[in-house]
Amino acid sequence: MPEGTDDPRLSAEGELALARLALDEGDLQHAADHLAGAIAYAPTMPEVHEALAHLAARAESVLDLFPLDQHPFIGTVVARAHLLAAAGRPGDGLELLAAATGHAPGEDWAGVPWVSAPELAAQLDPDQIARALMQVCAGVPDPVPEQAREPLWPYLRLARHAVAAHPRHGLLLGAASALARRVGAITLAVDWASQGARELPSKLSEVWLGYAYRSAGRIDEALAALRRAVAYDPDDLSVYADIAGTLADHGRLDEALTWVDRALARDPTFDCAVHTGHRLRYRRDGDLAHLVALADFARDHPDDSHEHNDLAECCHGQPWLGRVPPATEAVVAALRQLARADEPAGEGRLWLSGLEPPSALRALLTAVPALSLAVERIPAPDPREPRRPVTHRLWRYDGTTPVPAVGAPSDSAVERIRRLAHPAWPHPPAAYDAAVGLATVTLDDLLGLLAYPPPPPATELGRTLAEHDPALWTRSVQVWTCLGLLHHHTDEPWPESTRRRVLLDLVWGVEDWTTEAALFALVTAAWVDPSVRTEVARVAAERLADAVEVAQGRPVSIRRSLAWLVLATPQAEPAAVATARRVLAQRPAGRPVPRQRRFGQLWGRMWRRLTRHG
């Protein structure tokens, strides 16, 4: 599609003007090229079609000016379609328009008079119309969002005319039903599919009828039609998966799994049944092992029949499986309210009853550079010290003020992480794959990004996080940086690798958000590499156990997040899982309460609620 324009019609007029100049000079090929550009910008603009007709009148073989090479420009395809229709070959033209719609369904490629003309359907072979409608359906979602349906109305009008002209053609009726279902014409879809099943009893007709009934909410009739489809072709296991999905969507999980098992009994590697089965079993009992097995299957079978979203559906919105959990520290609550304040914060002093993670404190100090911190006491064990001896220290302390112990990252590293960081991902293996873009970032830069997270980019996501939750952006940067560490020197064997040593140092370093980020990276490594699962499960168990022990003497703000990480760990130790569930069942412990002695401007009502005057 053309890019770089805010006004498609204006761009089309520019292309049209150039086409007319080329026509006046007799340069027909350049005229054709500019008309292809014009029709891509404005496919229904009458002036463009008039110029196309003028070109056809001038050229001996106008179709040769719009060739279909290996990767044709979409404007060339659409222009050729209209020329074919004008030359008495509307069926061939229709197929090209359907191909264009499948490639770019949001454009009104078919919104021209000849496609919607009632007489067209009578002129065409109904098989050809059915193929075109099926091609359109293959390129659009089911259902099509209501706001995106307008470009498909010409095809629905064509379907109406075609059914009227060929009322007993079963394949056409089924294809027309499939289109009607996608654009929300459900009653019409059921009528056409029912008629098609009567005229052409077959597996495909029953599948179309089942889908139509399902869209209409007539579930028992939908299941009956799909079962009839199975009777026609017991070896088409995709229908088994459809039946299972329909049953599961209506709370009949046990029945659904019997159909999955029937399909797997015929072919244990049939991808639709495997994906559906693991998703439904996870829905039934919540056992992470089903999702890990699904990820393993997807890794070992990259050539599945089509793309599946079952793993992403199960991980969506779940802490660490599909998103970064929000921070819970008291200073972060203050930072969120500060981000929403109408006026910038002035200088002041903030008292804390206890020390919070250095990343949290740095986020606040970065937002309010004139702020000074005062901590009432340092409980044992000292939160400024690593939990185990480490080589790579990310933080040091100036009294109670955290200071990065590493250098700032380079501009190129900052630019990369700002393009990549996001608080959500489809599932851990997808996050791992996406982080490969950080593979060439140096170790010093990666460590620098953890301690000096850059401000969010000037994107919609960046502006939203800056306004509502700046801490979530910082946490996202740290998570993706640690995922980038997984790609650092992957030629090194894991047991002796730099990436493993650094991540373990971060896990056992000063208690911090980077602890969570590094442990998530290790958990992600376990998702994509079964050979590291035993070690990662042990590390996750030990890190949670340490947090639970420390929490007996002082607050540990990352403890619940560590519990979620254990529950996201492949082959997690049963005792650690039990501990994680106990932690999450407890009400969150009280947080250190900040109070403020203000020397400058007010920080907003919500800030004052979180502080007390000195």
More confident residue, 171 or 373: 171
Q: Which domain holds residue 390?
A: 330-404+592-609
Residue 323 binned pLDDT confidence (cut-offs 50, 70, 90): very high
Whether 442 and 397 share a structural domain: no
* DSSP state for residue 6 in the 8-state scheme: S
pLDDT above 70 (res 608): no
Is residue 346 assigned to a domain?
Answer: yes
Q: Is residue 103 part of a domain?
A: no
Domain count, the chain: 2
For the residues of 50-63, what is the DSSP string, one character each? HHHHHHHHH-SSGG
Q: Same domain for 576 and 596?
A: no
Of 322, 369, 331, which is closest to residue 352 (Cα–Cα)?
331
Indicate whether 367 and 426 sit together in one domain: no
Residue 200, in any domain of the structure: no
What's the whole-number mean pLDDT along residues 337-354? 69
Helices then strands, each counted (H, E), the chain: 31, 5
pLDDT at 10 over 90: yes
At residue 344 the predicted structure's pLDDT band, cuts being 50, 70 and 90, is low
Q: Which amino acid is at 249?
A: D
Pair 378, 496 in one domain: no
| Measured distance CA(31)–CA(18) in Å, rounded | 7
Dihedral pair phi/psi, residue 39, rounded to 5°: -75, -25
Q: Does 551 fall in a domain?
A: yes
Answering whether pTM is above 0.75, one says: yes
Q: Label the pairing between strands 401-404 and 395-398.
A: antiparallel
Residue position matching structure tokens 């060339």:
76
pLDDT at 588: 65
| Domain match, 429 and 362 both | no
Tell whether 485 is covered by a domain.
Answer: yes
- Do residue 596 and residue 579 come from a single domain? no
* pLDDT tens-digit map of 491-533: 999 999 999 999 999 999 999 999 999 999 999 999 999 999 9
Whether residue 348 is found in the same domain as residue 422: no
What CA–CA distance (Å, rounded) separates 278 from 292?
9
Distance CA 520, CA 512 (A): 13
Nearest to 595 by CA among 401, 362, 357, 374: 374
Q: Is the pLDDT of residue 613 over 70?
A: no
* Cβ atoms < 10 Å from Cβ of 95: 18
Residue 7: predicted pLDDT: 86
Tell whether 389 and 487 lie within a shared domain. no
Confidence of residue 594 (pLDDT cuts 50, 70, 90): very low
Model confidence pLDDT, tens digit, residues 27-78: 999 999 999 999 999 999 999 999 999 999 999 999 999 999 888 999 999 9
Same domain, 425 and 563: yes
Q: Does residue 449 sit in the same domain as residue 569?
A: yes
Tokens of 353: 């009853």
CA distances from 138 to 134, 163, 228 (A): 6, 20, 23
Q: How many CB atoms within 10 Å of residue 48?
A: 27
Q: Are residues 434 and 564 in the same domain?
A: yes
Sign of CA dihedral 594, 600, 606, 608: positive
375 in helix, strand or coil? strand
Q: Please give the pLDDT value at position 4.
A: 46
Locate 566 and state its tokens: 């254990």
Weakest mean pLDDT among 57-61, 230-234, 388-392, 463-467: 463-467
pLDDT digits (tens, 9 = 90+) for 434-452: 999 999 999 999 999 999 9
